[in-house]
Structure 1
Amino acid sequence: MDLILWRHAEAEDAAEGTDDLARALTARGSKQAARVAGWLDRVLPEGARILCSPARRCEQTALALGRKYKLSPELAPDTTPARLLEAAQWPHARQAVLVVGHQPVLGQAIAQLLGLQQDSCAIRKGAVWWIRTRERDGHEQAVVVAVQAPELL
């Protein structure tokens, strides 16, 4: 299974008294999302399932890709790695799954899947981590296929 984790692009700062889920992308964030979406559109399998946090900034990031996606409340900013992986059906989904979400949960999920000693890893805004499960010597492994940042596209 391929699991692609895409952190939302740069968003407006949180303003006091406003709903965090309503924060929108900045102009720079829209450009970041468009750059990464162009790359993803070239490499993402046609039948990939796309799951998106209900936060406006995540939905705007996903919209840049121009493919159908599903808003998933279980991917909201307060989610856990376990809920994220369950929503993605890791490691048993039949097709690739793209998750558009938030830090720190994306970094926590990556650290867990890769068996890192720290409990999280940093992910730049707008960046993508592509992880694949495989079997080697009778053991299931998670391997990094690609890491892409908007600045490199």
Structure 2
Amino acid sequence: MHLILWRHAEAEDTAATDLSRQLTTHGRKQAQNVARWLRTRLPDDALILASPATRTIQTAEALTDQYRVVRELAPDASVEQVLSAVGWPGGLTSTVVVVGHQPTLGEIAAYLLSGGADSRSWAVKKAGVLWLSSRERNGNDQAVLHAAITPELV
């Protein structure tokens, strides 16, 4: 399974509610640039899952109009909730893109890449992508980092 963790792009600082915060003009450009990079690399059957927050939905929409909003990916989601929602390590499909939030995305990366030994969070820039995959080695499930991309690199 390939698991792509995509943090939402730059959003406005305040709104009526946290979930209603929208992308800034700069954030829309970030999302479009990263979406262009992803589009050339994702398989056609990739499943795109977004948090119910407006800013993550807008980020996902830069990539495609074929995405699902998943309540378990909300800003307060735990590592366990997100991994359960995507079916890690077997996966709902061979490639899942999660458009979500910090610190959860960084916590997922730290947890998976340390084999569950590290509960700290990696810093993930706004609109940044961490591309992971699962594999089995000597009877053990492992996570492999394939790419770490920031909007400035695409």
Q: Output the TM-score relative to the length of structure 1.
A: 0.95
Give 2:121's aligned amino acid. Answer: S
Identity, in percent, stands at 52
Alpha-carbon distance, 1:14 to partner: 2.1
Partner of 1:114: 113
CA distance in 1, matches of 2:137, 2:94: 20
CA distance in 2, matches of 1:74, 1:117: 22
Q: Is 1:75 aligned to 2:73, yes or no?
A: yes
Give 2:49's aligned amino acid. Answer: L
Query: Can you give the 5+ residue segments of structure 1 that lack an aligned partner in the other structure?
Result: none
CA distance in 1, matches of 2:23, 2:45: 27
Q: Is 1:50 aligned to 2:48, yes or no?
A: yes
Partner of 1:98: 97
CA distance in 2, matches of 1:29, 1:91: 31
Alpha-carbon distance, 1:117 to partner: 3.8
Partner SS, residue 132 of structure 1 = strand
Partner of 2:11: 11
Alpha-carbon distance, 1:90 to partner: 0.4
Give 2:71's aligned amino acid. Answer: P
Give 2:63's aligned amino acid. Answer: L
Runs (4 or more) in structure 1 with deviation over 3 Å come to: none
Number of equivalent positions: 151
1:31-57 deviation line (CA, Å, top 9, x unaligned): 000000000000011101111001000
Partner SS, residue 27 of structure 2 = helix
Alpha-carbon distance, 1:137 to partner: 2.1
Partner SS, residue 40 of structure 2 = helix
The alignment yields a C-alpha RMSD, in angstroms, of 1.1
CA distance in 1, matches of 2:80, 2:119: 17
Q: Output the TM-score relative to the length of structure 2.
A: 0.94
Partner of 2:23: 25
Query: Can you give the 5+ residue segments of structure 2 that lack an aligned partner in the other structure?
Result: none
